[in-house]
Amino acid sequence: MAIFRYPRPASSDITPKDVYLSRREMLGAGALSLTAALAGTASADALKTHPGPYSGGLAPTPEEFVTGYNNFYEFGMEKDDPVSHSGDFHPLPWTLEISGMVKKPQRLDVGALLKSSDIEERIYRMRCVEAWSMVIPWDGIPLAKLLQAAEPESGAKYVAFESVVRPSEMPGQSSAFSGISWPYVEGLRLDEAMNPLTLLAVGIYGESLPNQNGAPIRLVVPWKYGFKGIKSIQRIRLLDRQPPTTWNRLAPSEYGFYANVNPQVDHPRWSQASERVIGSKTLFGTKRQPTLMFNGYGEQVADLYRGMNLHDNF
Question: Model confidence over 215-265: pLDDT tens digits?
Answer: 999 999 999 999 999 999 999 999 999 999 999 999 999 999 999 999 999
In a domain, 313, yes or no: no
Predicted pLDDT at 296: 98
In a domain, 80, yes or no: yes
Q: What is the pLDDT of residues 121-137, one digit of tens each?
A: 999 999 999 999 999 99
In a domain, 188, yes or no: yes
Q: What is the pLDDT of residues 92-125, one digit of tens each?
A: 999 999 999 999 999 999 999 999 999 999 999 9
Long-range contacts of 17-25 (CB under 8 A, 24+ apart): 20/60, 20/137, 23/62, 23/63, 23/205
Contact indicator for 259, 129 with CB cutoff of 8 Å: yes
In the three-class reduction of DSSP (H, G, I as helix; E, B as strand; rest coil), residue 265 is classed as: coil
In a domain, 36, yes or no: yes
In a domain, 314, yes or no: no
Rounded Cα distance between 290 and 89, Å, is 37
Q: Residue 172 belongs to what domain range?
A: 11-305
AA identity, residue 116:
S
AA identity, residue 145:
K
Helix, strand, coil percentages for the chain (3-state, nearest 5): 25, 25, 50
In a domain, 236, yes or no: yes
Position 138 pLDDT exceeds 70: yes
Cα radius of gyration (the chain): 19
Q: What is the CATH number of the domain that holds 88?
A: 3.90.420.10
Predicted pLDDT at 43: 54
Specify the pTM: 0.87
Contact indicator for 184, 227 with CB cutoff of 8 Å: no
Residue 17's beta-bridge partner residues?
none
Number of domains in the chain: 1
In a domain, 202, yes or no: yes
Of residues 6 and 137, the one with the higher pLDDT is 137
If one counts every other C-beta atom within 10 angstroms of the C-beta of residue 127, the result is 24
Contact indicator for 200, 146 with CB cutoff of 8 Å: yes
In a domain, 2, yes or no: no
